[in-house]
Amino acid sequence: MVPPAIVVLYFLKLRRQPVEVPSTFLWRRSVEDLHVNSIWQRLRQNLLLLLQLLVVLLAILALLRPGWRGTELAGNRFVFLIDRSASMSATDQMPNRLEMARQRVLELIDQMESGSQAMVIGFSDTAQVAQQFTDNRRLLRQAVRRLGPTARRTSLLGALELAAGLANPGRIATEAGDEQVADALPATLYVLSDGKFNDVESRDFSLGNLTPVFVPIGRSDTPNVAVTALSNRAQLASDEQRQVFARVRNFGDNEVTVPVELFFNDALVDADELTVPPNGSSRIVFDLVAAESGTLRLTLNHEDALALDNQAFAVIHRPRQKRVLFVSPGNDIVWWALVTERVRRFADVERMEPEELETPNFRQAAASGQFDLVIFDRCRPAEMPEANTLFIGTIPNRNGWEAESVAAPQIIDTDASHPVMHLVHPDEILIGEALALDPPPGSGVLIDSDRGALCAIHPRAAFEDLVLGFDIVRGTDDGQKLNTNWPLGRLSFPTFLLNVLYYLTGSGDSHSTDSVLPGQPVVLESARPTGQLQVVLPDGQREVVLADRHGTFQFHRTEQTGIYDVRESGDTQSRFAVNLFSESESNVAARVDDIQIGYVDVEGQTQWRPARREIWKSLLLVALGVLLFEWYIYYRRISI
């Protein structure tokens, strides 16, 4: 209706104002000049009309809401689960899988009918709600764009539970039976992932009102080469020489030869070429000479889909000297076992008489956690020190510990799996008098006898108390007498004490690399009592970690892979490495067929139908532009 109306209006000429002129002669001639027989001039004459018609046509077209391909998204509640685990950083989809997934979700959001609500959840090994249910698309888009990649592993279950918890409101139990807290509303659950997670067992999860749709991201034939392990340890001969072990895995169907480079403190120290069989792994060993503490970086010089796992990090550090306090009225046999060359490498052992237990000096030192281990030989403090403890022949002055004197117990069992009992076989030893222990609940019995437990370990806050229920020597009137033949000619006694020192001072064999998985919390230690530590992240950010009430430092921001520097008042105190080391994430071949969620087999929706593209906004913009142009032309015409 409108275009003909415009034409009619256009031809209903406007009422012109009559003006008398001396002669129309010149004007006519001018107007005729203006109307020379050229199409352009004719067009010009009608240009305004044409432009007006164009504006109206564009507006009508925009009202018709033209678009192509794709359809509207049916339903009115959606949950978008976006996988942002390490494997989603793979670049087999340009620019990467996560970006692709985000793009898809943005398209889905565009397809949503107005008024429908959606929720965005990003998940890796944990799930987090990026945006609660809302019908505000701008918020949804922002939430999707905020989701960045992580180096974590994948677990779908947490995300599903989060989605289900919000989509299926819980029930409360009343006397009459279950009552719905709120109406459960059905929702469509979109899982955008490369499927690198375990199927969700039916006993763990039920979908309820959720209708799942699996949108696989990534290709199922993407090869990748990854470092799946990196460790180093001192060679047995000397502490100065170290060996670095690495395992490289090939997740492709072709054999690959990759150059492997080892950097020590960011300087190239060794390199080798490693051939990895298809779908197999190869090991490589580097010898590192005279390595003091520092950082190791192993790099595969290889271009593949996932760059995150082509590097691995490790830390070499000499453990700080531990402080051990030996409180005894006199026990040379134990003392000699504590001051061996081997022990001196990692611990300083001090000696103290039981009388000094009551001095303020000791109380203060014990309360401030200066010692890593305190050994009480036939004595016990009034208050437990802030340290691990070994009680010999006594029990701690704490609730829960009970003991009963027994004579000549026969050892019948040891817990060989416990590190303290590693390589210790106190089978044929004789014991005079002993305490049959009744440790508090939650304790581990390490040596059991026919009369009761002889050795037990029990955790106390951040510490552990180890109790040996029999004396090694007994003070009698005529000097010291052995209470057991354990120290005599048997290697298991010094081994036991060495194990105790290793275990309770937290030293261990320093071949462990302190590798942490991304996202895992780390407990940091401080050599000195302090309230805060500073951690320098691999990208140079600094974060202050405050001590919790137990005096431990919990650090959670281990999202990036690399070396983390733990500093105390500016000095590097220790380091730890965060590595991906996950075969499931490094194996980037995407799962495109189907996934199992509870009882439901969810087929992968490989045929992607892109969002319906609509152009009415652009049409309106063009119409506006034409309108402006028309105004300009008109203005140019009437301007003098």
Partner 1 sequence: MPVKTSPLLPADLVARLERLELVTRKIFRGRRKGERRSKRKGQSIEFADFRSYVPGDDLRFLDWNLYARLDRLFLKMFQEEEDLHFYTLIDASASMAFGDPSKFDWARQLAAALGFVGLARGDRVKIEPLASAAMPPGPVLRGRRNVWRMTEYLEQLRTEGGLPFAQQIKNFCLRNSSKGIVVLITDLMHKEGYEVGLRYLSAQKLDVYVIHVLADEECDPAISGDLKLVDCEDRDEADVTISRPLLDRYQRSLNGLITGAKQFCSRRGMTYLQARNSLSVSDMVLQYLRGRGLMR
Residues forming contacts to partner 1 in the complex (CB under 8 A) are 13-14, 16-31, 33-34, 636-640
Query: Smallest distance from the beta carbon of 115 to partner 1, in angstroms?
Result: 49
Query: Smallest distance from the beta carbon of 6 to partner 1, in angstroms?
Result: 18
Judge whether 174 and 155 are in contact, CB under 8 Å.
Answer: no
User: Nearer Cβ to partner 1, position 39 or 172?
Assistant: 39
Buried/exposed code over 50-84 (b: 16+ C-beta within 10 A; e: otherwise):
ebbbbbbebbebbeeeeeeebeebeebbbbbbbbb
User: Nearer Cβ to partner 1, position 34 or 416?
Assistant: 34
Cα separation of 32 and 364, whole Å? 112
User: Nearer Cβ to partner 1, position 476 or 639?
Assistant: 639
Longest dimension (CA), the chain: 151
Query: Smallest distance from the beta carbon of 25 to partner 1, in angstroms?
Result: 5
Give just the sign of the alpha carbon dihedral 211, 215, 221, 225. Answer: negative
- List the one residue out of 582, 584, 577 whose CA is nearest residue 232: 577
Question: What DSSP letter does each residue of 436-480 carry, written as one string?
Answer: EEEPPTT-EEEEEETTEEEEEEEEETTEEEEEE-S-SEEEETTEE
User: Nearer Cβ to partner 1, position 608 or 631?
Assistant: 631
Cα separation of 382 and 179, whole Å? 55
User: Nearer Cβ to partner 1, position 44 or 422?
Assistant: 44
Query: Smallest distance from the beta carbon of 41 to partner 1, in angstroms?
Result: 10
Query: Smallest distance from the beta carbon of 14 to partner 1, in angstroms?
Result: 6
Cα separation of 381 and 397, whole Å? 7
Q: Can you read off the two tokens belonging to residue 638?
A: 């009437």
- The kind and range of the H/E element at 238 are none
Judge whether 525 and 574 are in contact, CB under 8 Å.
Answer: yes
3-state secondary structure of 227: strand
Name the CA radius of gyration of the chain, rounded: 39
Cα separation of 393 and 241, whole Å? 41
Cα separation of 195 and 592, whole Å? 7
- Beta bridge mates, 297: 263, 313
Query: Smallest distance from the beta carbon of 23 to partner 1, in angstroms?
Result: 4
Query: Smallest distance from the beta carbon of 9 to partner 1, in angstroms?
Result: 14
Query: Smallest distance from the beta carbon of 10 to partner 1, in angstroms?
Result: 13
User: Nearer Cβ to partner 1, position 33 or 183?
Assistant: 33
User: Nearer Cβ to partner 1, position 24 or 569?
Assistant: 24
User: Nearer Cβ to partner 1, position 9 or 491?
Assistant: 9
User: Nearer Cβ to partner 1, position 26 or 289?
Assistant: 26
User: Nearer Cβ to partner 1, position 45 or 364?
Assistant: 45
Query: Smallest distance from the beta carbon of 45 to partner 1, in angstroms?
Result: 10
Judge whether 182 and 209 are in contact, CB under 8 Å.
Answer: no
- The kind and range of the H/E element at 165 are helix 156-167
Query: Smallest distance from the beta carbon of 638 to partner 1, in angstroms?
Result: 6
User: Nearer Cβ to partner 1, position 45 or 359?
Assistant: 45
Cα separation of 334 and 340, whole Å? 11
Query: Smallest distance from the beta carbon of 57 to partner 1, in angstroms?
Result: 25
Cα separation of 574 and 593, whole Å? 46
CA 293 → CA 265, 502, 551, 569, distances in Å? 9, 20, 26, 19
Query: Smallest distance from the beta carbon of 15 to partner 1, in angstroms?
Result: 8
User: Nearer Cβ to partner 1, position 6 or 517?
Assistant: 6
User: Nearer Cβ to partner 1, position 24 or 554?
Assistant: 24
Q: How many CB atoms lie within 10 A of CB 243?
A: 15
Backbone angles phi, psi at 511, to 5 degrees: -85, -10
* Residue reference for tokens 């611990």: 347
Query: Smallest distance from the beta carbon of 48 to partner 1, in angstroms?
Result: 10
CA 238 → CA 228, 265, 290, 295, distances in Å? 27, 21, 10, 19
